[in-house]
């Protein structure tokens, strides 16, 4: 079981309090009906699914209830960092720094 740091509660809690909510930083378009099929497919179905560093959303369902983002390795399952929703996507340099 993972130990997850909720950036809102500022506390580490067992995975059972959380729900994974898929890939992070996927922007929902304002007007979906205007999207091309290609763009809809890319937004709705295509996923990075990396073997390595993944940016993903979690929700503290049995805590504060809020969504936040995380940087986690899918090889070791270790979290590098969690951060609040709305904060910018971490840059490659920032991730490389965290991996040191």
Partner 1 sequence: MRNFNAFTLAREALRGHKGWGKQWRSPEPKKSYDVIIIGAGGHGLGTAYYLAKEHGITNVAVLEKGWLGGGNTGRNTTIIRSNYLYDESAGLYDHSVKLWETLSEELNYNVMFSQRGVMMLAHNVHDVQSAQRHIHANRLNGVDNEWLTPQQAKDYCPPLSISKSARYPVMGAALQRRGGVARHDAVAWGFARQASAMGVDIIQNCEVISIDRAPSGEVTGVQTTKGPIGAKKVGVVAAGHTSVLMEMAGVRMPLESYPLQALVSEPVKPVFPCVVMSNAVHAYISQSDKGELVIGAGTDSYLSYSQTGSMHILQHTLDAIIELYPMFSRMKMLRTWGGIVDVTPDRSPILAKTPVPNLYVNCGWGTGGFKATPGSANVFAHTIARDEPHKINAGFTLERFRTGRLIDEAAAAAVAH
Letters for 6-35 (x = contact with Zn ion by CB under 5 A, - = none) are x-xx--------------------------
CB of 99 to partner 1, least distance (A): 16
Contact in structure between 61 and 84 (CB atoms under 8 Å): no
Give the residue with the Cβ less far from partner 1, 31 or 37.
37
Which positions from 25 through 54 interact with partner 1, judged by CB under 8 A? 37-38, 40-42, 44-51, 54
The residue assigned the tokens 């399952």 is 77
Phi first, then psi, for residue 98 (nearest 5°) are -65, -30
Computed from CA positions of residues 64, 49, 30, 92, in that sequence, does the dihedral angle turn out positive or negative? positive
Give the residue with the Cβ less far from partner 1, 42 or 96.
42
Q: Residue numbers of the site for partner 1 (CB under 8 A)?
A: 1-2, 15-16, 19-20, 22, 37-38, 40-42, 44-51, 54, 56, 72, 74-77
């Amino acid at each position: 079981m993972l130990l997850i740091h909720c950036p809102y509660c500022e506390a580490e809690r067992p995975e059972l309090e959380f729900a994974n909510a898929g890939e992070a930083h996927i922007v929902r378009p304002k007007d979906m009906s205007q999207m091309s099929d290609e763009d809809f497919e890319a937004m709705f179905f295509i996923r990075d699914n990396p073997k390595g560093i993944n940016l993903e959303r979690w929700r503290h369902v049995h805590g504060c209830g809020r969504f936040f983002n995380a940087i986690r390795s899918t090889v070791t399952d270790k979290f590098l960092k969690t951060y609040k929703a709305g904060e910018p996507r971490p840059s490659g340099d920032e991730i490389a720094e965290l991996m040191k």
